[in-house]
Structure 1
Amino acid sequence: MTSEKETISHYSSPPRSTSESEDSPAREPSPIGDENENQKYAPRRTSITSSERAARQNPMMEAKPDTVNRIATEGDNNEYIRFGRHKYLKSDLYEAFGGTLQPGLAPAPEHRFANPAPLGLSAFAATTFTLSLINAKAQGTTIPNAIVGPAIFYGGIVQIIAGVWEIALENTFGGTALCSYGGFWMSFAAIYIPWFGVANAYEGKESELGNVVGFFLLAMAIFTLGITVCTMKSTLMFFLLFFLLAITFLLLAIAEFTGKFGVKRAGGIVGVIVAFLAWYNAFAGLATRQNSYLTGHPVPLPTNEYTLTTITRTNRRRSN
């Protein structure tokens, strides 16, 4: 028997039993050992990490990264909008509407590819501008057959390519709008191509052909009205583009049904305004502070601004 006292540390193996013989070989501790015995002599951790301490002090850090806990405006003139822990300039949020065909309130997307919205809007604007001048009888023009080329290649094929590109960028609104209007232009051009035989089938029955074209224009007016509803939380120019386009389709449909040239001219005038609005939204997607001294100034709709103000006031009341 030894006279020295056996000391037990937190990191040593448990003492041998007194019944064990002194000359018996010492038992090597098992790499794993008995869990209950190891827990008796394992040191207890009394400190916490800095991240755990910060999470206890700020419960918002425990939320998932994709969860928005709070929406509020900041700045001297409320020029910033905070979504959870992310802060954006309000102007950057609004610029995403017309230039990228994004109808929802969201930060400007970071594209893996180029932004196709200006291309599709430019194709739509140029073709609409040309046909609208013909409908308005500018310079005495009345025969619309010259629009076949631009309608097929620029307003049709190019716009559909831009729409498919929007779908690849996960922009459902932009892809639906551009592909639909691109298909409209190609369908409209097919009426004036003799190879399709559309006009020849109604030879001597021009009024019936006008009614059928009016049905197609009315269908596009209804579709555009539905698109317009999806832009009511966007900017003024973005909303006016589709709202006036729906009016244009409606006026042209009425003109085909009634045969009144005054209504057709009114549709042409409104169509010219629509073309300039499309060019403006295309310019908003092209012009940046890096490549232009002039950039589009987004004007939010009153309903959109009211919604942001209401959300901000509600969050402030909850925080107080």
Structure 2
Amino acid sequence: MAPSPSAHGSSGGGRSWLANPAPLGLFGFALTTFVISSYNAGIFGVSASDPINVVVVLGIFYGGIAQAAAGILEFIYGDTFAATAFTSYGAFWLSYAALSIPWFGVSEGYSSVLGDTPHADYVYSRAIAIYLLAWTIFTFIMTLGSTRISIALCSLFCLVAITFTLLTVGEFGPYLGAHRAAGFIGIITAIVAWYNALAELFESQEKPLLRLPLGKISQGAAVDDESRHSNRYVVSM
């Protein structure tokens, strides 16, 4: 959910004609993840059994639309990894929000066919588990792609993968302990995402307050990438 090392212009290597969308995408992911993970972890006086209307709203507008918009802008930048990550996880939050909106009739569809019975709840829970399993597989694939970008980003994707895995296990059980563990790991995930976002935000400034290390890995590939996209820079530093 972040760009490759030199996909965007920065205060150190030049200024892009388009603002860096990575902080927006990362902040959108981090904030929405933090809120829903707080519910799953059962802290701050809320629990997973409480209504998640606030999460639905965030999932639509910030984690969903804003993050997907960041992904579209990454397509313009030519950063395939970041574009795929932001757009996909933006779509995840939009689809997750849709599951809780009666207008879409997702859960109601099961009860209308199977009746308002425990079996209907069981089948719906299994469907959600498969949905989460698919996102777990996707996240592991993206984790592999992040290993050549930066340590901070790879750490973020590893945590996202663990969170999705615990949510999947919790839904297949159902195991409330796995759900709660996913909540605590999700909070850590949000903090790491905030760190990545803040690092990108500072890096985009001409005179940043400070520079947060990301542990960038593929420096050689970054130089090649910069030369291929040199037309994006209007000011050379």
Matched, 1:171 2:79: yes
Is the contact made by 2:7 and 2:79 (CA closer than 8 Å) also made in structure 1?
Answer: no
Aligned residues: 205
- Secondary structure of residue in 2 paired with 1:259: coil
- Paired amino acid for 1:128: T
Q: Deviations over 1:16-75 (max 9, x none)?
A: xxxxxxxxxxxxxxxxxxxxxxxxxxxxxxxxxxxxxxxxxxxxxxxxxxxxxxxxxxxx
Cα distance in 1 between the residues matched to 2:7 and 2:129: 40
Cα RMSD after superposing both structures: 2.2
Counterpart of 1:51?
none
CA–CA distance in 2 between the matches of 1:127 and 1:140?
A: 15
Q: Is the partner of 1:299 in helix, strand or coil? A: coil
Match of residue 200, structure 1, among 90, 108, 112 = 108
**What do residues 59-110 of structure 1 show as CA deviations (whole Å, max 9, x unaligned)?**
xxxxxxxxxxxxxxxxxxxxxxxxxxxxxxxxxxxxxxx8x511xx658645
Per-residue CA shift, 1:268-314, capped at 9, x if unaligned?
1111111111111111111147443322023356xx69x99xxxxxx
Larger C-alpha radius of gyration, 1 or 2?
1
What is the CA–CA distance in structure 2 between the aligned matches of 1:221 and 1:152, rounded to whole Å?
Answer: 21
1:262: how far off? Answer: 0.4
Counterparts of 2:72 and 2:97 in 1: how far apart (Å)? 21
Q: Scaled by the length of structure 1, what TM-score is found?
A: 0.60
In structure 2, the CA distance between the partners of 1:220 and 1:287, relative to structure 1 (3 Å rule), is same
Is the alpha carbon distance of 1:210 and 1:107 closer, same or farther for their aligned partners in structure 2, counting shifts above 3 Å? closer
Matched, 1:227 2:142: yes
Q: Deviation string for 1:151-175 (max 9, x for gaps)?
A: 0111111111110000011111111
3-state secondary structure, aligned to 1:265: helix
Counterparts in 2 of 1:277 and 1:219: CA distance versus 1, 3 Å: same
Which letter maps to 1:101?
P
CA–CA distance in structure 2, aligned partners of residues 206 and 107 of structure 1: 46
The residue correspondences of 1:136-155 to structure 2 (distance < 5 A) are 136-138=41-43, 139-141=45-47, 142-143=49-50, 144-155=52-63
1:31-70 equivalence runs, <5 A: none
Unaligned runs of 5+ in 2: 112-116, 222-237
Alignment counterpart, residue 121 of structure 1, candidates 20, 26, 29:
26
Matches within 5 A, 1:1-320: 101-102=3-4, 106=6, 109=9, 110=14, 111-138=16-43, 139-141=45-47, 142-143=49-50, 144-203=52-111, 204=117, 205-288=120-203, 290-300=206-216
- Alpha-carbon distance change, 219 to 107 in structure 1, aligned in 2, over 3 angstroms: closer
Moved over 3 A (4+): 105-110, 288-292
TM-score (norm 2): 0.80
Partner AA of 1:298 in structure 2: L
In percent, how many aligned pairs have the same letter?
A: 39
CA-to-aligned-CA distance 1:236-268 (integer Å, 9 cap, x gap)? 211010111011111101101001110001111
